[in-house]
Amino acid sequence: MRRFEFAVDREHARAVNEVVADLRRLRVAAIAAAIVLGLGSGFLIWLNHPWSYLLAVAFVLGAATSLFIGLWTPHRGRVDKLYAAGELVPAVISETDDGGATLLALVTVGKPNADGPRYALVTRTVGSLPGHHLRTGERVPAVTVRIDRAPTSVGVGDLWQSVSAMPIAWGTRDPNVVERARGAIREAEWQLLADNLDLAAKVRRVDAKRLLLDPQQLPEELRRG
């Protein structure tokens, strides 16, 4: 896995990093759900009916799960941990509009036990990209963020359930860091994205929100991993 080390500007990331903002909203929603389910379980116990006790058990389990998510999210959402754990990947702007831009990224979705590298195209809509020109074809180095919904967080089969891209520019104000990350990505990867910009709309339409690439159609350099 290709890593990229740099000093994360936490203040900058808190202000512009949309992944951190998403995790913050998830935490608030989870804690709110835990409170509602906890109050609901208390009300069901107060009713003192056999059926209400069964429902109360389900509510308690739901509240415990929501509370766990709410407590776990701040640890999972530390921006420096996200950048340190992610794989450096290329992304390019596939289209722009008044609300921001759409990124098309080339990511690996195979787990460590997968038979060779498995590449996929994913998209991400962003509101802002500090330090980048919002124009089609702009090269945006990023890192992967893997979020699995399976109870054991191991994904399904030999592929991760969800892999998205988080721009390096959301973690630093230094343009030299972004340029260094851009240069650390192979030209073959950038070219693959440039040749497939028109697939971004297709990726957004598929249910999995990603498009697996046929290994036999990849450049030899990428098939080797």
Model confidence over 114-173: pLDDT tens digits? 666 788 999 999 988 998 999 999 999 999 988 654 444 444 567 777 888 999 999 999
- pLDDT range class, residue 225, cuts 50, 70, 90: low
Give the percent of the chain with pLDDT over 90: 37
What is the Cα–Cα distance from 80 to 9, expressed in whole angstroms? 9
Residue 75's pLDDT is 52
Residue 93's pLDDT is 96
Residue 153's pLDDT is 42
How wide is the angle at C-alpha 176 spanned by C-alphas 170 and 182, nearest 5°?
A: 70
Residue 117's pLDDT is 74
Average pLDDT over the chain reads: 84
Whether the predicted pLDDT of 89 surpasses 90: yes
Residue 72's pLDDT is 64
Whether the predicted pLDDT of 201 surpasses 70: yes
- pLDDT range class, residue 69, cuts 50, 70, 90: low
Which residues touch 104 (CB under 8 Å, ≥6 apart)? 91, 92, 93, 94, 121, 122, 123, 193, 196, 197, 199, 200, 203
Whether the predicted pLDDT of 53 surpasses 60: yes
Spatial contact of 163 and 150, defined as CB atoms under 8 Å apart: no
Smallest Cα–Cα separation from 30: which of 60, 87, 85, 68? 68
More confident residue, 160 or 76: 160
Whether the predicted pLDDT of 70 surpasses 50: yes
Residue 185's pLDDT is 95
Q: How far is CA 222 from CA 106, 145, 206, in A?
A: 11, 21, 24
